[in-house]
Structure 1
Amino acid sequence: MHTWHWRNWEGMPYLTCSILEPWQHGFFTQPFWPRSPQELTQVLQPDASVYRLKQVHGNTILTPQEIDHKLSNGGDDVDGDSALASADGLVSEQPLQAVWVASADCTPVLIGDVKTGQVAAIHAGWRGTAKKIVPQAIARLKAQGSKLENLRIAMGPAIAGEVYQVSIEVAAEIGSSIVTHEDEQKIVDALHELPNSPLIPDPDPGKVRVDVRRVNTLQIESLGISGEQIAIAPYCTYQTPEHFFSYRREQQKKVQWSGIVSVKN
């Protein structure tokens, strides 16, 4: 089993996972707010160059080179002093690149390749999950020479299925990423029948609860990646207010950052 460890930096806790042991990485907690990825990279690897995104709940994956290219052509947006490219996933190309995503209930996914040393950071909310953002990131890694069996994937703290109520429409949109059907109710019925189903019945009519991390796991396994290459943090952002912001709980635009630094192979 993969183990999750609490680490401390200046008295503040962040999480690491044994599956990503070769890489400096962390799933940071709310006491680090509002520190930027620039500052948090100092905790992990001060020599790394830092990359982050303007997250838009899509399934676009960028590399540092693509970000630099976009920004030299004016960028997509201006956020504070620095322009940011719009996307929800980052895949490194060189050693010592720190890639970061922010989340408040959505799933932060960090991936490392044990052979190439390259890494990815992905923001997988329900919309990104419905658009198969993690398989997209894995496809980018493969295009850069990764083999599926060399990938190690950690999903950080996110809202748990038992408290994540959504409409049947949303559940069907997410579910259509793993079950093909035209009819919303049929997709939902098929999801309920899966072993270790990502859906949990909800007492409210027209509602269901969905485990987004489980849907991502099913997408990843359907690519031929084994469950042993995947670790899921045993923490729910909504139910752990002492450590994590939850948009659903607080309705505030505060986030925690998750990042990983690529290494030489």
Structure 2
Amino acid sequence: MTVRIRRVTTTRAGGVSAAPFDTFNLGDHVGDDPKAVAANRRRLAAATKLGPDRVVWMNQVHSADVAVVDGPGPVVDHTDGLVTVQPRLALAVVTADCVPVLMADARAGVIAAVHAGRVGAANGIVARALETMERHGAHAADVSVLLGPAVSGANYEVPDAMAAEVEAALPGSRTTTSRGTAGLDLRAGLHRQLTDLGVTAIDVDPRCTVADRALFSHRRGAPTGRLASLVWME
């Protein structure tokens, strides 16, 4: 029996935060008023019909660490990936240019949410999340993945040496920006990595956080808020 998988990604609209976090900032570490962030998170929980105690958040640190959660609780510290087998428990990742990766095996009833920035992606955070899912009964061939809105290769300019370093660790990532300079397309690299690991159902949200002003982007203008991407099983 398969379970129903739900995935949600927010935009800047619909919250109570003041500029420059306007308005639906879900990040509690960017300098926004904590009361506004808490109110926005309550709005998100109500919109998903899960309730605030059924959303698990991370203190993301650009690591390759993955935590398994069995129920609601405090924010999970020092991790960039969450895995669970519990229904109606949403796993949340916050981003403003990095790649939110939402993974699910509907047949096995295992999900994961991953924060894949340049460092974490190069260090294998997504592969580690998949390995953790497999230890809990998932099969790569049954896993579906959404690579959410992130900075596109056209707008992610980096030094040549950095592009080469990331390409060596995550093949397929190196690209050329719209200005003709060295760039990174982390979603392209992650897509290739997941394919090599046996995952075939991969969807990519085409939106670029830098180009789309309906989304938060740290590269476009910091300080700024954070989007949230959630995955859960009904």
> What TM-score do the two structures reach when normalised by structure 2?
0.81
Q: Secondary structure at the match of 1:30?
A: coil
State the Cα RMSD in Å.
Answer: 2.4
Residue 66 (structure 1) shift: 9.7
User: Percentage identity across aligned positions?
Assistant: 27
1:28 aligns with 2:10: yes
**Structure 1 residue ranges (4+ consecutive) displaced by more than 6 angstroms after TM superposition:** none
> What TM-score do the two structures reach when normalised by structure 1?
0.72
Separation in structure 2 between the aligned mates of residue 178 and residue 248 of structure 1, nearest angstrom: 21
Q: Secondary structure at the match of 2:193?
A: helix
Residue matched to 2:154: 162
1:40 aligns with 2:44: yes
1:232 aligns with 2:214: no
1:255 aligns with 2:226: yes
Question: 1:52 corresponds to which letter in structure 2?
Answer: W
Residue matched to 1:184: none
Query: Which has the higher Rg, Structure 1 or Structure 2?
Result: 1
Residue matched to 1:194: none
The structure-2 alpha-carbon separation of the partners of 1:88 and 1:110, relative to structure 1 and needing over 3 Å to count, comes to: same
Q: Secondary structure at the match of 1:142?
A: helix
Residue matched to 1:217: 191
Kept after mapping to 1: 8 A contact 2:50/2:88: no
Equivalent position to 1:53, from 42, 54, 58: 58
Q: Deviations over 1:64-94 (max 9, x none)?
A: 14996xxxxxxxxxxxxx6641111111121
Q: Structure 2 unaligned segments of length 5 or more: list them.
A: 16-23, 26-36
The structure-2 alpha-carbon separation of the partners of 1:238 and 1:102, relative to structure 1 and needing over 3 Å to count, comes to: same
The structure-2 alpha-carbon separation of the partners of 1:240 and 1:203, relative to structure 1 and needing over 3 Å to count, comes to: closer
Residue 37 (structure 1) shift: 4.2
Kept after mapping to 1: 8 A contact 2:163/2:174: no
Q: Secondary structure at the match of 2:113?
A: strand
User: How many residues in Structure 1 have an aligned counterpart in Structure 2?
Assistant: 209
Q: Deviations over 1:16-71 (max 9, x none)?
A: xxxxx932221100124234545412212325722111010111111114996xxx
Residue matched to 2:163: 171
The structure-2 alpha-carbon separation of the partners of 1:260 and 1:170, relative to structure 1 and needing over 3 Å to count, comes to: same
The structure-2 alpha-carbon separation of the partners of 1:166 and 1:153, relative to structure 1 and needing over 3 Å to count, comes to: same
Residue matched to 1:87: 79
Q: Structure 1 unaligned segments of length 5 or more: list them.
A: 1-20, 69-81, 180-190, 192-196
Q: Secondary structure at the match of 2:229?
A: strand
